[in-house]
Chains A and B, each alone.
Chain A
Amino acid sequence: MGKLNLLVVDDEPGIRSGIKRILESFTVSYPFMDEDFDFDVLEAETGEEAIELLDNYMFDIVLLDNKLPGIQGIDVLEYINNQSIDVIVVMITSYASLDLAVKATKSGAYDFVPKPFTPKELRNCLENIAKQLFLRRMTQKMQAEGKQVRFQFLSVLSHELKSPINAVEGYLKLMKDKRNGEKVDDYAPMIDRSLTRIQEMRNLILDLLDFTKIESGKKQRNIKPVYLCDITSQCIDLVQPLCIQKDIDIHLNCNDKIPFNADRQELEIILNNLLSNAVKYNKKGGRIDVTLKKEKGDVVLSVSDTGIGMEKEDTDKLFEDFVRIKSEQTKHISGTGLGLSIVKKIADLYKAKIDVESTPDKGSTFTIRFPDK
C-alpha cells in the first residue's frame, strides 16, 4: 500500500476535520497501478503554519484554501513555486474570482475544488491526482534509468528484427513441404525474397551499430581538417552503380576544396545516407544535385533529388528513430528507418542544422548547415 502525504490548509476547523474524515477510509486503486494509495493527512490553520510544515516535511498534495487569516493561499502557492517544492496544489475556493483562478493556475495550481464540496467531488479530484502522481513517479523512475526511450526503441527494434526472420523461416517451411514442386527453380521467387530480407536485416544491423556507437557517445571521434569535396566525390562513386541501374544523373557542384574540421567517418555516414536516399526515392531517369559551399563562414551541404518527395507533415517526423514514410510509392523500397535518425544524431554533434524541402512527386532537398565554430 502506497501512502500519499496530504496537507490541508484551511482556517475553518470544520473543513479540516471534514476532509480528514472523508480521506480516512479512502483508497485509490487503478488496475494499472501495482499498489493502492491511501492518504496521511496533516493540518495547518494558517499560511504561515503551512509554510513551516512544507519546509520540514515532504508532501505529495496540498489542499489550499485561499482566504486565510494571515498570508493568503496564493502566497503559499507562490512560496511553493519559488522554492521549487515538488507538490501538487489544489486550491479550495468559494467560487472564487476568475482573476484568482488565472493567477493560481499561472503559479502552478493543479486543480480547483469549489467550496462547498461534496465528499465525492473531493475523492474524484484526489483520485485523478493519485493517478497523476503514480504516472509521474513511474516516468521519473523510468527516465532515471533511461528506460522509457530504450523501451520504445527496443519494441520497434524487436519488430524490425523479427519480421525478416519470420519471413525467411516461412519460406523455408514452404520449401521443406515442397509446396511448389520438386525443382529448386520452382522456389526462385521465395529464395530471392529470402535473400532480400536477409540483406535488409544486415543493413539494419550495420545501421544499428552506427546508431548505438553515436548514441552511447563511445565512438572515437577523430576530428581533423578534411576536404569535404573529396569525401563527397568518393561517396558519390559508391552510389554510382545504383545510379546507373536507375538511369540517374548525379552532379557534384563544388567550387573550391572547402577545408573543414570534422571526423571523416561521420561525414561519410551522413553523405552515404543522404545519397542513397536520393537514389532510392528517385524516379527512373531522375537527377541528383549535390552542392557544397561556404556561406557566411558556415559549410553548407545540400542533396537534391527529383524523386517522389513527400508531404510537409511527413518531413516533420522524418528524423525520428525507425520512422519510414509509408505509401504506395515507398512500399517496395527497403529501408531500416534509422538512416536519417543517424544523420540527425551526427549533425547534432556538430551543432549543424538540417532542413528539408520537399514537394510530393517533384523531389526533396536535404540541406545541412555546419556552423563555423
Chain B
Amino acid sequence: MLKIEKKKILLVDDDTDYLFQLSVALQDLGFEVITASTQKEAEDIVEKLKPDLAILDLMMENQDTGFILCHIIKNKYPDVPIIIASAVTAETGMLFDVDSEEDRQWIKADLFLDKGIRMDQLHKEINKLLKI
C-alpha cells in the first residue's frame, strides 16, 4: 500500500493547553505536529528539520517573539509558509495585515489569524498555504 507522507506542522505557543488542544485537532486532520513552547525550543527544532508549515503565537517570551521566530524560520527556509496566530487582534484593534508588499517585507508571515478562528477555517487556510 502506498504510504502518503504526512505534512509536518511546527506549532509554537507558550500556552501549553492551547498547544495540546491545537495539536490534537491538527493530528485529527491528518497532520504530523511538532510542538515547541519557547523561542529556544522552536529554534532548536528548525535547526534539525524543515517543517512544511509553521503556526506561531505572537506573544510569548516577549510581545513580538512570533515576529522574531518568523524572521528566523523564513531566513532558513524561505519557502515554508508561516501563520501567526494571536489572541490580541480583534478587540484591541491591533490589526496586522500582511496584504501589502511593504508589510510582507518586514513581517514576513504569510498569514495572520485570530486564535479564536474555527477549526474548519484554519484547515482551509492551511490547505491553501500548503497548496493541497
Contact = CB atoms under 8 A, between A and B. Distances in A.
Interface of A: 31, 151, 154-156, 158-159, 162-163, 166-167, 170-171, 174, 179, 193, 197, 326-328, 331
Interface stretch (B73-81, B86-94, B105-113): B86-94
25 contacts: A31-B100, A155-B88, A155-B92, A156-B59, A156-B88, A158-B87, A158-B88, A158-B91, A159-B87, A159-B88, A163-B18, A163-B87, A166-B18, A166-B115, A167-B18, A167-B21, A170-B17, A170-B18, A174-B24, A179-B24, A193-B17, A197-B17, A326-B14, A328-B38, A331-B37
A163 B15 CA distance: 8
Contacts of A158: 87-88, 91-92
Interface residues of B, number: 24
Given A156-B63, A328-B38, A166 B116 contact: yes
B11 to A, nearest CB: 14
B60 interface: yes
In this complex, which of A162, A179, A328 has the most chain B Cβ atoms within 10 angstroms of its Cβ? A162
B83 to A, nearest CB: 17
A282 B118 CA distance: 40
Contacts of B64: none
A97 B15 CA distance: 58
Interface string B90-129: 0110100000101000000000000110000000000000
Given A151-B92, A167-B17, A326-B60, 4 more contacts: A159-B87, A162-B116, A163-B87, A174-B21
A346 B100 CA distance: 45
